[in-house]
Homo-oligomer: A and B are copies of this chain.
Amino acid sequence: MARKRVGNKRERIIAAAAKLFGEKDYHDTTTAKIAESAGVAAGTIYIYFRSKEELLVAVFEEFLGRHMDRLREGVEREKTPRDKLMRLLTLGLELMEDNPDSARIFLSQLRQSTKMITVVVKRSSRAYKDIIEEILTECARAGVCRDVNVPAASSMLFGAFQNTVLDWVAHECSYSLTDLSGDLSEFVLHGICCESTEEKGAVQ
């Protein structure tokens, strides 16, 4: 149980940090407030994390680790590259809708600098992009995709996705994010794949 308590503490700190970093921002959140919110002493944070910066990184990794699997899993259950792409976007929006705090960090802090953070964040968000690029490459190979510049397209897709979520957060999550699933999918599918209503009609 003592062991459990320990794990408990690390988790509680990460959870508190995620909440607070999301509410304010990295610089406006003090380690003191995180400790208080996590119900631990100020010094305790430094037993689990070397620095405040490392805590932020841990928050990211926790977020990614927790969701990336679900994402990859969901994607792989689909058969066609096209469906995979759709599933990726839909699941992504669902994930964000369920974790507004994490979403906030993912989006806002993603663009803060300070060397170390930047580096780690790049590495972390790399995971996301990897999935995207994988699918796009698959699409390209399958011929369902126009001959796009994969990294560029992946970046655009990611940007479109991010901004959709960002707007939702900026509007204080006052509407359903998953309702935009269709709009986003359509935008992306048309932007990347050679599909359109006309073609669908043609298929019939």
Contact = CB atoms under 8 A, between A and B. Distances in A.
Contacts of A153: 183, 187
A89 to B, nearest CB: 11
A161 interface: yes
A187 B122 contact: no
A96 to B, nearest CB: 14
A49 interface: no
Interface residues of A, number: 48
A114 B28 contact: yes
A108 B108 CA distance: 9
A98 interface: no
A196 B180 CA distance: 24
Interface of A: 24-25, 27-28, 107-114, 122, 146, 148-149, 151-153, 155-164, 166-167, 170, 180, 183-184, 186-188, 190-192, 194, 196-199, 202-203
